[in-house]
Amino acid sequence: MTTKTHVKLDTSFKKEVYEGLTAFPKYLSSKYFYDKAGDKLFQDIMAMPEYYLTDCEYEILKTHTQPIAEYFRGNENGFDFIELGAGDGKKTKILLKYLSENKFNFIYKPIDISQNAIDSLYKKLKKELPNVEVDAEKGEYFEVLKRLKEYNSRKKVIMVLGSNIGNLLHPRAIDFLSKLKDTMQKGDMLFMGFDQKKDPQTILNAYNDNAGITAAFNKNILTRINRELDADFEVGKFKHWETYNPETGTAKSFLVATKKMEVTIKQFGLTIDFKPWETIHTEISQKYTDNVVNWLANEAGLKIETSFTDSKGYYKNYVFKRKNV
């Protein structure tokens, strides 16, 4: 039986961990996978042959650099290039290099929840692309969206790569897109990646690698809770499990308790009971079709301007503009 006491939830991490682990069924947010260890694990995931998303999006940006850049181009005032979830910037550097070499007038503003990722990206760009003006910032998407409205003196290009939208079920995705739309004025654009539906086995393999890197990435949230909230999760006693529903296009990740356990989180004065095979839902990865993306955009007050795809048709990057402006 889980016991609760009154605790001070003075950070988003504490609040969401407390709410998720005292809920039924239990859940935790995948955004907290990321710290220094989590960032490295995700880079390892992106390098796996099974994880097709990175290579497909890299191919799109490499193959269509010039036409994508022309969609970005502002008027004589230039544009603000705002990337949500910038990560290590591997793919973005393709565009930044082209924009810099062709004298586009822009400021690059990478935003990421991980301070480690932001610091690392800033240092790399200063060394590799010194002519690119970088204004980096740590923050969560929904916090940053409030501030984006202040960027209204010239064109905004908002970019979200890696199919990060796929971490949200459709109602929250529409809410996210609507909030993005509210920050956009006439001429602004949103450039966003959406992983497409494909052979279900290909999708399962991408999130269930034999090397166990994705499992370690999911379990890193338990390691963080142990370290940052003084908990005693036996991380090795949890099994990573992946499912995919080809009808809804939803891949789900779980951590499954392999035995009966009691976990204490000292900072909360909280003891949590786990029954054998009880789950913690950690992540969703939504897959899409053109029809679904068009529906999401329409519900959010956006319209698809165009899209770019890889040679296999596994993945698409869409250009959106605001409707009725």
- Answer yes or no: is pLDDT of 8 > 90: no
Q: pLDDT of 274-298, one tens digit each?
A: 999 999 999 999 999 999 999 999 9
Q: Name the pLDDT band for 146 (thresholds 50, 70, 90).
A: confident
* φ, ψ (nearest 5 deg) of residue 40: -65, -40
Average pLDDT, integer, range 244-264? 97
Exposure string for 136-169, b = 16+ CB within 10 A, e = fewer: bebbebeebbeebeebeebbbbbbbbbbbbbbbe
In the prediction, which pLDDT does 3 show? 54
**Which residues of the chain does CATH 3.40.50.150 include?**
64-196+288-322
- Answer yes or no: is pLDDT of 151 > 80: no
Q: pLDDT of 56-109, one tens digit each?
A: 999 999 999 999 999 999 888 899 999 998 888 899 999 999 999 999 999 999
Contacts of 199 (CB under 8 A, 6+ apart): none
For the ranges 35-44, 198-207, 222-231, 246-255, the lowest mean pLDDT is seen at 35-44
SS3 label, residue 160 = strand
Could you tell me the pTM of the whole model? 0.89
- Answer yes or no: is pLDDT of 141 > 90: no
Beta 302-309 vs 315-322: how paired, if at all?
antiparallel
The Cα–Cα gap between 131 and 134 comes to 9
In the prediction, which pLDDT does 325 show? 67
The Cα–Cα gap between 275 and 319 comes to 46
Q: Name the pLDDT band for 23 (thresholds 50, 70, 90).
A: very high
The Cα–Cα gap between 187 and 193 comes to 20
Q: pLDDT of 170-199, one tens digit each?
A: 999 999 999 999 999 999 999 999 999 999
Q: Residues 93, 89, 191, 158: is their CA dihedral positive or negative? A: negative
- Answer yes or no: is pLDDT of 5 > 70: no
The Cα–Cα gap between 232 and 248 comes to 36
Q: 64-196+288-322: what fold?
A: Rossmann fold (3.40.50)
Alpha helices in the chain (DSSP H): 12-21, 36-46, 52-63, 65-72, 92-101, 115-128, 141-148, 170-183, 200-206, 213-229, 290-300
Most confidently modeled range among 31-40, 150-159, 304-313 = 304-313
In the prediction, which pLDDT does 100 show? 96
The DSSP letter of residue 180 is H
Residue tagged 């239990």 (tokens): 26
Contacts of 256 (CB under 8 A, 6+ apart): 238, 239, 240, 241, 277, 278, 279, 280
Average pLDDT, integer, range 246-258? 97
The Cα–Cα gap between 243 and 203 comes to 9
Comparison of pLDDT for 161 and 5, the residue scoring more:
161
* Number of helices (H), then strands (E), in the chain: 11, 13
